């Protein structure tokens, strides 16, 4: 059961990554490598020795399509690509039902600070509401808007703006089994 779910999640993740490779941005757009993947494990009981600890942040990043979905200018709708990504997140979150996550909403630098705070919150809630519709308990998801204050792409051009209009599902790094 668990193995099947994991396998399907990995297939989904692989296919979404493939999509990302052709349809999204260049490799530098990928999230930064996890800071520290070494966790105390017992090789005699852990069949996944050498793999991220199940239920950990690193496990999430390795097994979901992406932690990030992207939006159009001033938009907050969830398109088919976003649904595939969020479905993979929902699958993982269903498997690890004790993990609480934060969904961050972000905007590009155009538009005023105040409006973008509202827009980021709207985007984070769009992602949250989709995850809830896929069976994730709403109480496990906290939303936070950073408006345009936390860009990942630093340019002032269309491709940078596109990468900054996003919501990111964040599993706390302290979570793990």
**Per CB under 8 A, does 154 bind another protein?**
yes
CB atoms within 10 A of CB 159: 12
Measured from the CB of residue 162, what is the shortest distance to another protein in angstroms? Answer: 16
Phi, psi for 104 (deg, rounded to 5): -90, 135
Stretch that binds another protein, among 3-11, 60-68, 82-90, 152-160 (CB under 8 A): 152-160
From residue 36 to residue 55, the character string flagging contacts with another protein as x (rule: CB under 8 A) and all else as - is --------------------
Contact 122, 163 (CB under 8 A): no
- Orientation angle between helical segments 2-23 and 80-95, nearest 10 degrees: 150
d(C-alpha 42, C-alpha 130), whole Å: 37
**Per CB under 8 A, does 76 bind another protein?**
yes
Binding site for another protein (CB under 8 A): 74, 76, 102, 109-115, 117-119, 121-122, 125-126, 129, 144-147, 149-152, 154-156
């Amino acid at each position: 059961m668990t193995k099947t779910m994991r396998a399907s999640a990995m297939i989904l993740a692989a296919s979404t990554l493939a999509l990302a490779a052709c349809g999204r941005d260049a490799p530098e757009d990928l999230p930064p490598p996890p800071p520290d993947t070494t966790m105390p494990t017992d090789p005699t009981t852990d069949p996944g020795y050498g793999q991220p600890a199940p239920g950990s942040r690193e496990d999430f990043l390795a097994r979901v399509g992406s932690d990030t979905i992207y939006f159009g200018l001033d938009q907050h709708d969830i398109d088919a690509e976003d649904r595939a990504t969020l479905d993979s997140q929902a699958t993982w979150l269903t498997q690890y039902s004790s993990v609480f996550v934060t969904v961050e909403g972000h905007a590009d630098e155009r538009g005023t600070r105040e409006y973008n705070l509202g827009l980021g919150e709207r985007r984070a809630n769009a992602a949250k509401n989709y995850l809830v519709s896929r069976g994730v308990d709403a109480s496990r998801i906290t939303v936070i808007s950073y408006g345009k204050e936390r860009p990942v792409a630093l340019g002032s051009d269309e491709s940078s703006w596109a990468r900054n209009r996003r919501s990111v599902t964040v599993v706390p790094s302290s979570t793990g089994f």
